[in-house]
Structure 1
Amino acid sequence: MRKAETSDKPIILDILTRSFDDNKSVNYVVKQDQNRVDRIRNLMDYSFNVCTEFGEVWISDDQQACALILFPDRKRSSFRTLLWDLKLALSVIGLDRVNAVLKREAMIKSNHPKEPIAYLWFIGVNPKLHGKGIGSAFIQEVINECERKKRPIYLETSMEKNLPFYKKFGFEIFQSLQLTYTLYQLRRV
């Protein structure tokens, strides 16, 4: 595992766009129309930018797995981040959905501690390679890195089938939010 570079961005966006195509939480945020897949890619582009600026982006040595990690305590507003947010609202969410998405984000953040954390925003494996142990090896590397930094890991998933995977690595559900789907909030402290 290594820190991603700008040249890795297309690979990372491809992995995450394909990995989150059927994700309930992502599809709640993304406007559902004929451009849905492009909107998911734009969401991943936004998230890549934010994590590059205020966290870390990791990619496996074989370029088949990646993770976007945000350090919320480092996040700051600037003219550039405001432009990113505006682009997100227009090209991903749709203006009619902004309030619902902002409310959802506030609910998620209200359950996070005030101390520094590693927010595992997105983690994905090339969908063609699922079930081959790549995700397990990669998340263990992410865990090791966050432990080295002494940051507990927080994440959420809307995919109930992913819960056993996260529990196997020491994550616990500490909250669930009822939206138009159930969003499970997990932590590893």
Structure 2
Amino acid sequence: MMRKADAADQPLVAGILAQSFSDNLSVNYVTAGTDQQLRRSALMNYAVKVCSLFGEVLISEDAHACALLLYPEQKKTTFLSLLLDLELVWNCTGISKALAVMKREKAIHSLQLSGHNAYLWFIGVNPLFQHKGIGSRLLSEVIAYCEKQHRTVILETSTLKNIPWYKSFGFQTYATLDLGYKLFFLKKEFSATVSKF
């Protein structure tokens, strides 16, 4: 069973994601440079804090897997969100790369679906516990959770081997973007006759 992470869980969640996304092309683009591991940790800390403000941070009961959901209609510019953005530039991208990352994010955002969505920003499993079905259980729970809220689940992945896994849960590719590597945009929609809970 998953639960909502609390403030004490945030370092654990960021650590799981930093480890499980070490080979991800999209993450590595943003975190490229010296001290890439520290930059990746800074990116994941940023994502956890943003989802704490404008979405949800979910963690498996055994604390081996986690997911970050962002609700786009809730995301807004606040003093705290601006501070987080500055912290990301300082600790992750650096000023010299910030403009390129912003241009990339604008291109990604232009292809994201609008509407009542749950953006599955990251889902990851501690590498010591991968390939044991933990991630699949968590994704099933995330999907059920979003279905109860009548939210389409959207995500992107640059990891080709993950696409069949997502498709096995009913996700469909709806767009691709060439960023020097291919980024795939996927969605999981629910029928209009979803029962209300």
Structure 1 counterpart SS, 2:161: helix
Q: Give the TM-score taking structure 2 as reference length.
A: 0.93
Mapping of residues 1-189 of structure 1, within 5 Å: 1-33=2-34, 35-189=35-189
Structure 1 counterpart SS, 2:32: coil
Tell me, in whole angstroms, the C-alpha distance in 2 between the residues paired with 1:157 and 1:104.
14
| Runs of at least 4 residues off by over 4 Å | none
Shift of 1:31: 3.1
Tell me, in whole angstroms, the C-alpha distance in 1 between the residues paired with 2:57 and 2:47.
10
Does structure 2 retain, via aligned residues, the 8 Å contact 1:31–1:94?
A: no
Does structure 1 retain, via aligned residues, the 8 Å contact 2:68–2:123?
A: yes
Tell me, in whole angstroms, the C-alpha distance in 2 between the residues paired with 1:142 and 1:79.
30
Shift of 1:102: 1.0
Q: Greater CA deviation, 24-33 or 136-145? A: 24-33
Letter matched to residue 174 of structure 2: F
Name stretches of at least 5 consecutive residues in structure 1 with no aligned partner: none
Name stretches of at least 5 consecutive residues in structure 2 with no aligned partner: 190-197
Shift of 1:112: 2.1
Shift of 1:12: 0.7
Tell me, in whole angstroms, the C-alpha distance in 2 between the residues paired with 1:31 and 1:128.
25
Q: Deviations over 1:139-184 (max 9, x none)?
A: 0000000000100011011110111110100111111111121111
Tell me, in whole angstroms, the C-alpha distance in 2 between the residues paired with 1:44 and 1:105.
16
Tell me, in whole angstroms, the C-alpha distance in 1 between the residues paired with 2:146 and 2:107.
24
Does structure 1 retain, via aligned residues, the 8 Å contact 2:113–2:154?
A: no
Structure 2 counterpart SS, 1:150: coil
Structure 2 counterpart SS, 1:68: strand
Q: Percent identity?
A: 47
Shift of 1:114: 2.5
Tell me, in whole angstroms, the C-alpha distance in 2 between the residues paired with 1:88 and 1:68.
17
Q: Give the TM-score taking structure 1 as reference length.
A: 0.97
CA RMSD of aligned residues (A): 0.9
